[in-house]
Amino acid sequence: MFPVARAAQSLVARGIQHTAVRRAHRKHEPTFHDKYGTMVLLGGAAMFSSVWSYVLTQLKIEWGFSPVGRITPSEWRE
């Protein structure tokens, strides 16, 4: 049984070596992320910033929820 296992291991190792050699001799072709990754990231950041700047400036959102200065106390009834 031991020689069979050793033969199987050598076949697997030889297959891995062949795959590594094939990949090492191939030219590296740029993928989509290599070509456009930075531009897509910057475009997304610009879109995110522009949408949130519109939302925060155009909607009537009241900031500062403190009632100090907005509520006047009523007079005491005696």
Q: What percent of the chain has pLDDT over 70?
A: 71
pTM strictly above 0.75:
no
b/e sequence 19-37, b meaning 16+ C-beta within 10 Å: eeeeeeeeeeeeeeeeeee
User: What is the per-residue pLDDT across 32-58, written as a single tens digit (0 to 9) for each?
Assistant: 888 889 999 999 999 999 999 988 888
Query: For residue 5, what are its two tokens?
Result: 């296992």
| Alpha carbons within 13 A on the beta-carbon side of 57 | 6
Q: What is the pLDDT of residue 25?
A: 65
Closest to 61 in 3D by CA, of 52, 49, 70: 52
